[in-house]
Structure formats: C-alpha cells, structure tokens
Chain A
Amino acid sequence: MTMDSITLLIQIFVSAAIINNFVLHYFVGICPFLGVSRRVDTAFGMGCAVTFVISIASLLSWTLTYYILRPGAPLPAWLWRVAGGAESVTVDLSVLSYIVYIFVIAASVQFVEMYVRRFSPKLYKSFGVFLPLITTNCAILFTCLEILKQLQDPMRLWGLAEALTLGLGGGAGFTLAITVMAGIREELELRDVPRPLRGAGITLIVAGILAMACMGFAGVDKSIETTVQYLLH
C-alpha cells in the first residue's frame, strides 16, 4: 500500500465519521436517530448493528457495481463482445443500480439476522431486534450510492478497500452521533423541557447544535494529507 492510498483511506474514514457525519451533515439515518436514541446502551447497539450491515452492504455493492453495474463494466462488455457486438458501443446497466442495491441490502440483512440468531443468541438479544429496521435505513443505501458515484467517475475509481473504509467510517459516525444524542437525552429527562418541545422537538434542536459543532471540522480533510505524511516520516 502506497503512502497516497493510506492517506486516501484515512481521509475517507475521518470524513465519513466526523467531518461529513452521515447523520449530522448528510441527513441520512434520521429515523433511527430520533427513535432509538433514548438510552445509551440501546443506541450503541443500534449503532453497532448499522456499522455491521453497512460494511457488508458496501462490500457487496462495490463488487456488483465494479463488475456489472457501472458504465464500462467488464462483465457486460465481455458478454457484449461474445454476442458479437461492436467495440465502440458500451453496455450500461447502471439504471438497475437502485433496485439491485436495495435487493442486496434486504437479502444480506435477512441472512445476517438468521446467522446471528443461530450462532450467537447473546448478540442476537442485544442487537438482533434492530436488524429488520435497518433494511430501510437511509444510511446503508446512501453508502451504496456514494460508492456508485465514485465508481462512475473514471478519475477516482475506488477499490474495495476504499469502499469498505467508507462503510466503516459512515457506521462509526452514525454510532458516534446516536450515542452522544442518547447521552444528552438521558440528561434531558431530568430537566425542565417546555411541553411542546418534549420528545422530537428538543431532540432536533440538540441535533442542530451538534451539527453546528460538526461544522467546526470543515476543512480538516484537506490537512489530513500533510498530517499523515508528517507523522509517517
């Protein structure tokens, strides 16, 4: 692994986890963020489950996108040539991407749930109940869409490592946001919140303040390159 690739991986991870936090900057995964963030242990469980599913989904979606779905992908091109088509025409299956992603996400979540239920009942008790909810979590589909965007740009063709790092970073960022929010909400239980604001209202306002705090990290990803090079020399 070259210096540049390590730097890129660190940039992707830090950007997804902190600077462009999936919840606080990209607004994905808001529904569980508002719903499951009442207690710290359930929030952390949800965060871990989401990270796990995002990683699997990013691996599968990268593989499918790289080899089949992006414009100029190897498998359709090879099939086209075998069928006797002209070299200059590219076969573009990217219109299927959304359907394929959601299908893959749903199937992998189902598979993971069955596996965890059978082989690790303790783990199933702690976050198994969240797994069916995660199928409709925007954050997973958003990760897949980000990977698609990067693979459509010939200048920034991401490899499997980059895709996985994006998934892990996004999941870590989601876990961070939801756990912090749960801690704050536990404290808010003992405070005098005006009645109309109780519940979703105050949670959104606190999320707004957290988003403001996250904005403070803007520009950090530019200096990661110099920092990494400084640290590794």
Chain B
Amino acid sequence: MATGFTLLLAACLLLVLAVAAAAVLGWADRAFHVEVSPQLEAILSALPGANCGGCGFVGCAEYAEAAAAGTASLTLCGPGGASCAQALAQITGSSITPTFPYRAVVHCAATGRQRLPAVKPPYRGELTCAAANLVAGFQGCTYGCLGLGDCASACRYDAIHVVDGLAVVDYANCTGCKACAKACPRNIISMVPFKSDRMLVVACCNSDNAPAVRAVCPIGCISCSTCSKKSSLMHMEGNLPVIDYDAYRDESDFVEALAKCPRESLIFVGEPHPADLVKVAGEELPARIEADFQTTVDDTQWWG
C-alpha cells in the first residue's frame, strides 16, 4: 500500500506543481506584458540583423526601438544601406531625405617602405596594432598606420586589408559598419559620406609641425596651408587640413588645392576615375604611385 500511495502522491505533486507553475507563469505573462508593437516587428525584420553597432546602438533591436519611437534617424544603418532606409521609411510612414553611404577612410597614405623607422631597437612584441601602440619605437610616425592589421581582423565584409604595411579599404565591399574605425587604436579611420564614387580625403593624421613630420615620413602633411587657401571647403585645424564634407559637391572644388599640395597628403579614395583606368589598362601597376622625395634622413629602410 505504501508503494501505491507513494506513486499516487508523486503523481499528485507533479500535477500540482505543473498547474501552479502554469497559473503563475500565465498570470505573469499577462501582468508583465511588454507592449511590442507590430511596427517594431516589421522594423526588426527589415534590418539586416548583423548587430554590428554601426548605427551607434548596441544591436539591431535597440536601433529598431529608437527608429520606431522616432528618436533616431532612419538612415543610420550602414550594412542595410539605402534600401533598408527606404523600407524603414515605408514602415514608419515618415520620409527620409536622401543621404549618402558612409564608408571608412584611412587617414594615412604612407606604405611600409615610406615610413621611417624609430631610432629605438626593433619592435619584438606581439604583432597587433593594439599591442604595438602601447610602446614607443615601433615606427617614426607616432600618429600613422601601424600596418599590423587589427582593422582587417575586425572587418566582417573583407573590405580592408593591409597592403605593403598600410591599411587599404576595398570600396567595393565596404558597408560602413565602422568596425575598423573602432578597432584602430590610433583612431585614424573615419567615416566619410560618399557623395560620389571618388572622394577627396586628407591622407595624413600627423598633427606635428613640419620638421617633425619630415623626419618621420616623406609624404606626410607639412601644414603649409596651401590647400586651405586654394579651396573654400578646406580649413586648417591645428596642423592638419579638414574638408567640409557637408558642403562637398564634386572634385572641381579641389582641382587647385590638389595641384598645389607639395606632399601626397590629399588623395582620392573610392572608385578609380575612368580616364585613369583607361590609362593603366594594359599595365602592371604597384598598389600606389611612389613619391619621389628627398628626405633629410638617410636610413629609409623599413625594418618591418
């Protein structure tokens, strides 16, 4: 009888627990219900779901909430692009002003061969930018690209690679998610709105004065201010020129500035110009055109 009673009691206990849990959880589901509007569901499904953080929110879910509430611009999604912005505009019933895709730009143009080494003994530490940035003496320029590839590891779209010691963005793949910009320990990657296929950027981030820059790099900006005098869209901030991208219209604004720059600090990034493509159609070209500069320092050997 005891066994039978135990079995009966066991069955009753489980039944009671199940009913109690169902009742409590059912009540909780209604009492603690969080209103999730169908609009939010629609927005969530329209977003790419990569959770890259490029919009500035922690994940797609947060951005969806902000977009639904109207507290965030609908065009912030880099990977989603224009089509996603359109979809969001349709769902929320608001309109969007046409905007441009933001892509990553590396503010350094000196390849490994051009960068001058520091006078300290060669770097023997871990080969990541984060580690190399912690010590002095990796290379002469303390602002520029280290070329160890933290950005390339961070990129999920295979859009940035280290070519010849310099980080180079592949604009065919770049979605503007900002992962490389966040990974760069020297913060020399910024996001530029691509109003046309080729954009002019300032390819130097060394804000020291001219003698200091010349000592460490053959093509870094020497703050001569010629560009800012020749173009109304550029002005000097400290020792570096800054381009006003909001007012940027096309290349014609910069023709004179480009011609007058004594160093290679102003470059075009993005799609190559069709005329340039035709010119080099049959040739085997290096990754960049080398500058032919005499420097004041004789040892121009890259120690790697």
| 1/0 contact string of A93-109 vs chain B (CB within 8 Å) | 10110011001100100
A211 to B25, CA, bound (A): 40
Contact of A68 among B13, B25, B131 (CB under 8 A): B13
Say yes or no: is A91 at the interface (Cβ < 8 Å to chain B): yes
Residues of A contacting B96 in the complex (Cβ-Cβ under 8 angstroms)? none
Give Cα A48–Cα B241 distance, bound, in whole angstroms: 49
Q: How far is the CA of A107 from the CA of B34 in the complex (A)?
A: 19
**Interface pair B9/A79, CB less than 8 Å apart:** yes
Are B58 and A125 interface neighbours, CB within 8 A? yes
Size of the B side of the interface (Cβ < 8 Å), in residues, is 25
In the bound complex, how far is the Cα of B131 from the Cα of A130, in angstroms?
A: 31
Q: Say yes or no: is B29 at the interface (Cβ < 8 Å to chain A).
A: yes
Contact assessment for A111 and B9 in the assembled complex, using a CB-CB cutoff below 8 Å: no
Binary contact track A64-92/B, C-beta < 8 Å → 1, others 0: 00001000000010011001010001011
Contact check, A115 vs B28: say whether CB atoms are below 8 A apart.
yes
Q: Is A119 an interface residue (CB 8 A)?
A: yes
Task: Collect the chain B residues with CB atoms within 8 Å of residue A85's CB.
Answer: 1-2, 5
Indicate which residue in B5, B18, B126 contacts A191 across the interface (CB closer than 8 Å).
B126
| A93-B9 in contact (CB<8A) | yes
* Residues of B close to A125: CB separation below 8 A: 58
Residues of B within 8 A of A195 (CB): none
**Would A107 and B32 be within 8 Å (CB), given that A83-B5, A190-B131, A191-B126 are in contact?**
no
Docked-complex contact A114 and B21, CB < 8 angstroms: no
Give which listed residue, B6, B32, B130, B134, contacts A119 with CB less than 8 A: B32
The distance in angstroms between the C-alpha atoms of A114 and B28, with both chains bound, is 7
Main secondary structure of the interface of A (DSSP, over half): helix
- Whole-angstrom distance between the Cβ of B169 and the nearest chain A Cβ: 24
| B291 / chain A contacts, CB cutoff of 8 Å | none
- Does the CB pair A80–B17 fall under 8 Å? no
Q: A93-B9, A118-B33, A190-B131 are in contact. Are A99 and B28 (CB under 8 A)?
A: no
Known contacts A100-B17, A114-B28: A92-B34 contact under CB 8 Å: no
- A-B contacts, 24 listed (Cβ < 8 Å): A80-B5, A85-B1, A85-B2, A93-B6, A93-B9, A93-B10, A93-B13, A96-B10, A96-B13, A96-B14, A103-B17, A103-B18, A107-B25, A110-B25, A111-B24, A111-B25, A111-B28, A114-B25, A118-B33, A125-B58, A189-B128, A189-B130, A190-B130, A192-B126
Please list the residues of chain A having a beta carbon within 8 angstroms of any beta carbon in chain B: 68, 76, 79-80, 83, 85, 89, 91-93, 95-96, 99-100, 103-104, 107, 110-111, 114-115, 117-119, 125, 189-192
Binding site for A on B (CB under 8 A): 1-2, 5-6, 9-10, 13-14, 17-18, 21, 24-25, 28-29, 31-34, 58, 126, 128, 130-131, 134
